């Protein structure tokens, strides 16, 4: 449609705006990709369980994005004294689940609002989307994660914080 319009365009301004906008969007995507690549390359270690953060760093009903040794990202959520970990990639269009919030007991994607139960990564019925989950543990008040993801929709018993650890 734009190319048809450009055939009769008398002003270069619209053409400039069109291609300038397209270049800006492409440039922003490339820049974002470079930043993520740099962040991913700082991940270290491989294979065994890896430390994520002190449990006290988690915020209630908020996600924490953690870059795994293979560059994948896990979204870790603390909700009502429980902790679960999911893939950071929404099953809809790969939105960043870890940047979402807990709403109505579900992790809610910040892009279009798809929801997933934190313990099994499944959307509540009647929806059928599901994302991988991760096994997690606490050692000396540090949250640990098994970097090998479970199959999408696999239930993992949430970690339950002791009364003194709850926020």
| Residues near ligand FES (CB under 6 A) | 90, 92-93, 95, 109, 111-114
Helix (H), strand (E) at residue 76? strand 73-79
Closer to ligand FES by CB, 37 or 93: give it: 93
**Count of CB atoms situated within 10 Å of the CB of 95:** 18
Q: What letter does residue 158 receive in the DSSP assignment?
A: P
Helix (H), strand (E) at residue 3? helix 2-8
Minimum gap (Å) between residue 125 Cβ and ligand FES: 17
Closer to ligand FES by CB, 75 or 143: give it: 75
Minimum gap (Å) between residue 39 Cβ and ligand FES: 20
- CA 62 to chain centroid: 12
Minimum gap (Å) between residue 124 Cβ and ligand FES: 14
Contact 156, 87 (CB under 8 A): no
Minimum gap (Å) between residue 158 Cβ and ligand FES: 22
Closer to ligand FES by CB, 99 or 165: give it: 99
């Amino acid at each position: 449609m734009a190319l048809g319009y450009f055939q009769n365009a008398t002003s270069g301004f619209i053409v400039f705006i069109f291609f300038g906008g397209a270049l800006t969007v492409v440039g922003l995507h490339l820049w974002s990709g470079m930043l993520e690549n740099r962040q991913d390359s700082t991940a270290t270690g491989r294979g065994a369980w890896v430390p994520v953060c002190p449990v006290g760093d988690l915020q209630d009903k908020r996600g924490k994005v953690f870059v795994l040794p293979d560059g994948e990202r896990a979204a870790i959520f603390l909700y009502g004294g429980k902790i679960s970990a999911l893939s950071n990639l929404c099953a809809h269009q790969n939105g960043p689940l870890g940047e979402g919030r807990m709403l109505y007991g579900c992790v809610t994607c910040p892009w279009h609002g798809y929801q997933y139960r934190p313990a099994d990564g499944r959307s509540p019925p009647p929806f059928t989307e599901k994302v991988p989950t991760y096994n997690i543990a606490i050692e000396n008040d540090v949250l640990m994660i098994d970097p090998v993801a479970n199959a999408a929709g696999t239930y993992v018993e949430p970690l339950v914080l002791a009364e003194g650890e709850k926020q």
